[in-house]
Amino acid sequence: MTDAELHALLRVSADNVRHVVAEAAASLDWTARQLSVLSNTYPAWDIRHEPDAYGRFIWTASLRQRVTVWMVTAGIVQSVRQADPIALAATLAWQSSLLHHGGRSRTGPI
C-alpha cells in the first residue's frame, strides 16, 4: 500500500468515524427530546427513561399526586411503564383523560 492510498483510507475512515459519532449524539438527543416533549405535555407526571432490573431501558411515569380511592375507582394508577415513548404517551393520554374528566363524571370528586 502506498502512502497516498494509506492517507486516502485514513481520510475515508475518519469521515466514517465522524458520521458514527454524529449519529450516536443525535440518538441521545432524540431520547432527550422525547423525554422533554412528554414531560411538557403531561406535567402532572414525573417521566423517566431508565433501565429496568434486566438492564432494558423503559419509559416510566409516576403521578405527582397521591392516588385517592375515587381516582382508583375511575381507573387512574399511580405509575405506568411502557417499552417506548409512543406507548407511554398513549397511556398518559388515557390516564389524563380519566384524571380530568372520567373520575369526576363517573365516581365523584377527585
User: How many structural domains does the chain have?
Assistant: 1
Per-residue pLDDT of the chain (110 residues; tens, 9 = 90+): 787 776 676 676 666 656 555 565 665 689 999 999 999 999 999 999 999 899 999 999 999 999 999 999 999 999 999 999 999 999 999 999 998 886 554 544 43
Closest CA to 60 of 79, 35, 39: 79
Structural domain span for residue 59: 3-107
End-to-end CA distance of the chain: 76
Q: Which residues of 42-78 are buried (b: 16+ CB within 10 A; e: fewer)?
A: beebebbbeeeeeeeeebbbebeeeeeeebeebebee
pTM score > 0.85 for this model? no
| Cβ burial, residue 94 (10 Å; 0-12/13-18/19+) | middle
